[in-house]
Every structure is written in structure tokens, then in C-alpha cells.
Amino acid sequence: MSDYKLLIGGKLVDGAQTMPVINPATEEAFATCPRASKAQLDEAVAAAKAAFPAWSAKPIAERKKVLLAIADVIEKNAGELARLLTQEQGKPIGDATGEIYGAAAFFKYFTMLDLPVKVIDDSANQRVEAHRKPLGVIGAITPWNFPMILLAFKLPPALLAGNTIVIKPAPTTPLTTLKLGQLIQNIVPAGVVNIIADANDLGGAMTAHPDIRKISFTGSTATGKKVMASAAEALKRVTLELGGNDAGIVLDDVNPKEAAPKLFQSAFQNNGQVCIAMKRLYVHESIYDEMCGELAKLADAAIIGDGLMQGTQIGPLQNRMQYEKVKEFIEDGKKNGRVIAGGTVEDRPGYFIRPTIVRDITDGTRLVDEEQFGPVLPVIKFKDAEDAVQRANASPWGLGGSVWSKDIDKAYALADKMEAGTIWVNKHADLAPNIPFGGAKLSGIGAELGEEGLAEFTQLKIINMAK
């Protein structure tokens, strides 16, 4: 039996099977996780469906109280949750703690929103109202890079809108989410929140389930396409937050010493395992050499280690599959560019790779054209800023991007030409719960966060009355 349980219909239950959870810093199993069967998935959906009428009928003020109670229990257990998150995900304990408190803050934010009836027309002849109604059962599928904060993109707005939910965390990082289920078991009415775990074998059944009305998925573009295809049979609503290959463009008036630490953080936060990390950096030729040198210094100075150890700045890659992929990208960088920092695998247990800077590389190589999702940054030289924007836009992805310059007007003009869901100026990967977030092109469909993100969990209903 596992110390962790599934949450189905308000009860903490064992899985049909169990599976080990690996600490990526040691490559050893440190816990056993329950693994749900298809029958248990069906039970979770049935429980959510049964709970929907009563939950959706509750006044929104009552639903807000539940969200605030969840935020409170997350904060009260932040230490335990953060340690568990570091053990299963690998990130430094300080970053894990920030993620836990951030998740609580996102729950609190959504309690400040409402779904008022909007009057479109109230004339002599008619009154037309726009209502936002809940959809029903939501299926939420979360990834392994930010298990808690990305759950907080989905769970609070889903519940606030009056939906019930079935949550499926990534198989390599299920424990923090299951622990949250244990903590909220007696806070949320039975069946409103259900949490299962699988070995990547229930996604298809979940997305095709006839009683799930919407899938909210964060993950790779390849899997996102499968989710969309599966959801098409029942015309399920989908929100897809998928991969990215975010470009940063640094103009010639930027001071490399000042900008390099911000650029480095933009690329290597969470070991580069961030959908909106800066994954390719275009630098003007006049400051190219100096910028490469500054980035290399930062990479060489970074402290790599177990996330539970004090002083660790960058932990391991989260899983062996990603570790092997990143090693392939490094080999591509060595073949098509020049590695000036990192490029080495740490000689110890764990999925450790030193942060790697690759210069003298250009578009048309794997490292530049694909999403590496790891601690490797290609730095590409450019002469003309308009050309750099065209090269950035040539990617099939369009999640985010950034422009760096002392001339805000010039940076804004270039940002306006970049094709992505979010473009930052003189910063990168800055998210807040009140700012909508979503991708263009192959980076996704729909929006999360903000009022727009809440609306995605509702059905627009028009009431049109003659007078």
C-alpha cells in the first residue's frame, strides 16, 4: 500500500496498482504512488458529475470561501509541500517554496473575480443578457515542471465558475498534487475535486470520456494535438498550453554586464524546464562577444546540486527521458556551434547537466529550431533588428518572446511585430494571475489566468427577451 491516496468522491482510496516515484537528484525511488485504473477514472468522473448540480447551484460567494480555505491550507502546509515538491521535481527548495506560496496566491486572486450578468441591450423592445454558466466536469492534466503553480492555473477558476473537476498530474510528479487532495478532503464537498494518478496510460480515456465537458491541458505540442483530436468526437472545449521556443532579441544599446544576469535567469530558471523560458537568444553583433562572455561566466559560477542542499541554484533535470534529450541537444550544439560554458554531465548520481552556453550557431540547427526544455542556451548573432524579428517569427511555435533595449519605443515597435501570445520588453517569463496567458500557432489554444482565463471555464448563454 502507498502512503499517498487518490481522492475520489470525497474519499482517500488506494490505487488499483502502485508505482515508484524517483528523486531525480539520486535516481532512486523515495516513495510509492497509487496508480488508478480505468475503472477508477470512471468512478472519479461519475463522482464529479454527481457533485455538479449542488456545487454549481451554490452562490459564488460560497464557492469563494472554499477557494480561500484551500489557499489557507496550502500556506499552512507550505514547508511539507515544498520539500515533497523538491524531492519529486528536483528544483531548489527555495524555488519550490515560492511555487507553493504562489499557488496559494493564485487561489486568492480568483476569489476577487465575479461572473456578473452583462446587459447587452435594454431598449424599449427587448432586454438581452449575457450569462456565464459552468460547463460541468472539467478534466485537468498538469505537467511535471511546475506541478503546483500550473494546477493553480486550472483548479481555482474551474471551481469558481461552478464546475467540478478530475485532476491528473504527471506520472513523474504526482505526490504534491495527491498530498493536496489529502489536505482538502474535508474542505471541498465530496466529488467536487477528484485526483487520480496514472503511468501515462489514462490520458486517452480521460480526454475521450463522454461525461467530461472540457479538458485543460498543459504539456507538449505533440500530446496537445492528441488531446485535441480525442476531444473532437464530443466537441469538448479545450484549453491547450503547449510548447514554446521563445526568442529574446537584444539590441545594440544594451549593456551586457547589466542585462546578462536577467537573460541568464530567463533561460535557466527551473533548469530551463519552463514553457516560456528564453530558449534562443539573438544578440546584436556589436555586443555579441561581450554578451557571450558574461553569460558564460554566470553559467560557470552556477551551483548545481540536490535541491534540498543549501546553496543549490540549479537542480537536476526532472526525469531520465528529458535528461537524454538534453544531452542530444548539447551534442548538436557542439557539432554546429561552439560550447563556451557547460556542455558536461555531472559525474554523480542524478540527472545533472551544467548550464550550457553555445555561441557561433544559427537557425537551421536542432538546438535553435527545436524546444530543448533544458539548461542549454544558443546565442545567435544578428546585424539587423528587423531580420532578427523575422527569424524569431519563423518558428512554428509562438508562446512568448522578448525585446531588450534602452529605447523603449524602438523595443515596443519590434515587440508589436513578434508573433507570440506574450511579448515582454526588458524582461522575460513574467506571469501574474491577473494577466491572461496563452500561445499562438503551435503553442496552444485559449487563455489561462485573468478574467479571460475564468471565462474559458464557462458557457456563454444569451437570454433575449421581448418587451
Q: Tell me: do 74 and 221 sit in the same domain.
A: yes
Q: Tell me: do 213 and 168 sit in the same domain.
A: yes
Q: Does residue 438 lie within any of the structural domains?
A: no
Q: The domain that contains 15 carries what CATH number?
A: 3.40.605.10
Within 8 A by CB and 6+ apart from 36, the residues are: 6, 15, 16, 44, 196, 197, 198, 202
Residue 275 bears catalytic tag: yes
Number of domains in the chain: 2
Confidence (pTM): 0.97
Q: Tell me: do 326 and 292 sit in the same domain.
A: yes
Catalytic residue among 33, 275, 292, 371: 275
Tens-digit pLDDT profile for residues 78-91: 999 999 999 999 99
Name the region of 443 (left: φ>0; alpha: ψ -120 to 50; beta: rest): alpha
Catalytic residue among 43, 88, 99, 241: 241
Q: Does residue 27 lie within any of the structural domains?
A: yes
Are the CB atoms for 402 and 245 separated by under 8 Å?
no
Q: Does residue 208 lie within any of the structural domains?
A: yes
Q: Does residue 365 lie within any of the structural domains?
A: yes
Q: Tell me: do 277 and 408 sit in the same domain.
A: yes
Measure CA of the first residue to CA of the last residue in the chain; give whole Å.
64
Please give the residue range of the domain that contains residue 426.
Answer: 246-432
Q: Tell me: do 265 and 413 sit in the same domain.
A: yes
Q: Tell me: do 164 and 105 sit in the same domain.
A: yes
Q: Tell me: do 350 and 389 sit in the same domain.
A: yes
Q: Does residue 215 lie within any of the structural domains?
A: yes
Q: Does residue 402 lie within any of the structural domains?
A: yes
Q: How far apart are CA 363 and CA 387, in angstroms?
A: 12
Q: Does residue 1 lie within any of the structural domains?
A: no
Q: The domain that contains 398 carries what CATH number?
A: 3.40.309.10
Q: Tell me: do 227 and 155 sit in the same domain.
A: yes
Q: Does residue 437 lie within any of the structural domains?
A: no
Residue 292 bears catalytic tag: no
Q: Tell me: do 272 and 180 sit in the same domain.
A: no
Burial of 384 (0-12, 13-18, 19+ CB in 10 A): exposed
pLDDT reported for residue 3: 87
Q: How far apart are CA 189 and CA 257, in angstroms?
A: 54
Q: Tell me: do 252 and 231 sit in the same domain.
A: no
Q: Tell me: do 179 and 265 sit in the same domain.
A: no
Q: Tell me: do 262 and 238 sit in the same domain.
A: no
pLDDT reported for residue 190: 98
CA 360 to chain centre: 31
Q: Which residues of the chain have pLDDT under 50?
A: 1
